Amino acid sequence: MEVAQGALLGLVVENRLEITNCFPFPKHDDTMDEEEYQLDMMRRLRRVNVDHFHVGWYQSADVGNFLSLPLLESQYHYQTSIEESVVVIYDTKKSARGFLTLKAYRLTPQAIAMYKENDYTPESLKNLKIGYESLFIEVPIVIRNSPLTNIMMSELSEMIPEEEGCKFLDLGTASVLEGQLRSLMDRVDELNQEAIKFNRYQLLVVRQQQEKHRWLLKRTQENAARATKGEPPLPEEDVNKLFKPHPVPQRLNPMIVAGQINTYSQHISQFCSQSLAKLYLTQALQNAKEAKQNN
């Protein structure tokens, strides 16, 4: 999926991060050096006396499937080089329906530790006590407009006809839900694949263990026989040479997929509760209307 990305500029003030400006990254194209572009951009902003400290980046997302490997990676790099940086996720679909959705995230210390170790085996993940829910922490966002913007907004709100802007009472839920269900299904499939992969790994390990066991047994018997003959026993360390441990499947991707499923599910349940409320509301209204007509 194509996503829009850009840099956030601002300052740390006391215990909060103020984001005052931003600019988009160019679309991927080979003729331009992205880094060069960013530096250029910041240099120019500095000249016009705008905040020019890089404090993070933003990315567009669809419904909430923003969680991905590249996102994790870039946020890790941001956070390790610029301590205070955040990633702001802007949900285009939801915003288009009238719900402005902006969310800011930071990686948790565990996630950073995990990345530092660059080891995604189940063991290490267990030791770090990290799961999909503890990859990110959400940072609350407070939006502040300049007084000028506020004035314009209030002016605009007067210009909007009364009927408009009630889209949030829209009862057509099916299409939204369908889309989300489809995406959810894809993710579940993917996670299932990962589970199967892990399962297969387990099977292999178990089989290897058994073989090892058998081999050791045989070796001890042999050694016993040799001992009766008075020969020196064969070493038992060969077992590690004979049976190479299987590579452990990486668990990062399943974790991300699980995180995505989590966000989808949250979205769906949120959407459903809202829709239900709307339906009850409408029902009440309808009943009242009918009662009025009957009277």
Partner 1 sequence: MSRFFATGTDSESDSTSEDEPVVRAPAPVYTFSDDEEETKRVVRSMKEKRYEELEGIIHSLRNHRKIKDFSSALASFEELQKAYTRAAPVVQKEENGIAPRFFIRALVELDDWVTGVWTDRDGRKQLSKGNSKALTSLRQKLRKYTKDFDAEISKFREQPDLPDDDDDERKESSSSDEFEDEDKVVTKPRRSPEPPRRPPLQDDESSDSMDWGSSSDDSSSSSDDETRGATTLRERFLKRTTERDDEEEQDRRKKGRRKEQNRKINKKDQIDDGGEWETVRKGVATSDKPKMFAKDAEIDAALVVKKLGEVSAARGRKRTDRRAQLELLYELRTVAQQHNLGPALQVKLRAAIVAALFDYNPKVSDAMKPEYWSKLVENVDEMVTILLAHEDMVLSETILEENEQLSQAPYRIRGCLLTALERLDDEFTKLLKECDPHSNEYVERLKDEVRVSMLIDRVCQVVERDGTGQEICRAYLRKIDHLYYKFDPRAVRKDLPPGEETSIKKMERLCKYIYAHDESDRLRTRAILSHIYHHALHDNWFQARDLLLMSHLQETVQHSDPSTQILYNRTMANLGLCAFRKGNVKEAHGCLAELMMTGKPKELLAQGLLPQRQHERSKEQEKIEKQRQMPFHMHINLELLECVYLVSAMLIEIPYMAAHEFDARRRMISKTFYQNLRASERQALVGPPESMREHAVAAARAMRRGDWRACLNFIVNDKMNAKVWDLMVGAENVRAMLGRLIREEALRTYLFTYSHVYASLSLKSLADMFELPRQRVHSLVSKMIINEELLASLDDPSECAILHRSEPSRMQALALQLADKVGNLVDSNERIFEKQGSFFQRGGAARGEGRTRDRPRDSWNRRTRNRRRDDERSHDD
Q: Can you list the pairs that 96-105 forms with residues at least 24 positions away whose Cβ atoms lie under 8 Å?
A: 97/167, 97/168, 97/170, 97/176, 98/165, 98/167, 98/168, 99/168, 102/141, 102/143, 103/138, 103/141, 104/56, 104/138, 104/139, 104/140, 104/141, 105/75, 105/136, 105/137, 105/138, 105/139
Q: Which is nearer to partner 1, 44 or 218 (CB)?
A: 218
- Is residue 100 within 8 A of residue 131, CB to CB? The reply is no
**Taking the CA atoms of the chain, what radius of gyration do you get in angstroms?**
29
Q: Which is nearer to partner 1, 192 or 240 (CB)?
A: 192
As beta bridge partners, residue 107 has 136
Q: Is 127 one of the binding residues for partner 1 (CB under 8 A)?
A: no
Residues in region 153-172 near partner 1 by CB under 8 A:
none
Q: Both tokens of residue 273?
A: 């509760």
Q: Is 181 one of the binding residues for partner 1 (CB under 8 A)?
A: yes
Shortest spacing between CB 17 and partner 1, in angstroms: 36
Q: Is 189 one of the binding residues for partner 1 (CB under 8 A)?
A: yes
Using left for φ > 0, alpha for ψ between -120 and 50, and beta otherwise, residue 86 falls in: beta
Q: Which is nearer to partner 1, 209 or 286 (CB)?
A: 209
Q: Is 34 one of the binding residues for partner 1 (CB under 8 A)?
A: no
- Is residue 20 within 8 A of residue 51, CB to CB? The reply is yes
Report the alpha-carbon distance of residue 276 to residue 282 in Å, rounded.
10
Q: Is 184 one of the binding residues for partner 1 (CB under 8 A)?
A: yes
Q: Binder to partner 1 among 153, 195, 234, 284 (CB under 8 A)?
A: 195
Q: Is 284 one of the binding residues for partner 1 (CB under 8 A)?
A: no
Shortest spacing between CB 202 and partner 1, in angstroms: 4
As beta bridge partners, residue 12 has 17
Site string for partner 1, 200-239 (x = CB under 8 A): --xx-xx--x---x--------------------------
Q: Is 199 one of the binding residues for partner 1 (CB under 8 A)?
A: yes
Binding site for partner 1 (CB under 8 A): 174, 177-178, 181-182, 184-185, 188-189, 191-192, 195-196, 198-199, 202-203, 205-206, 209, 213
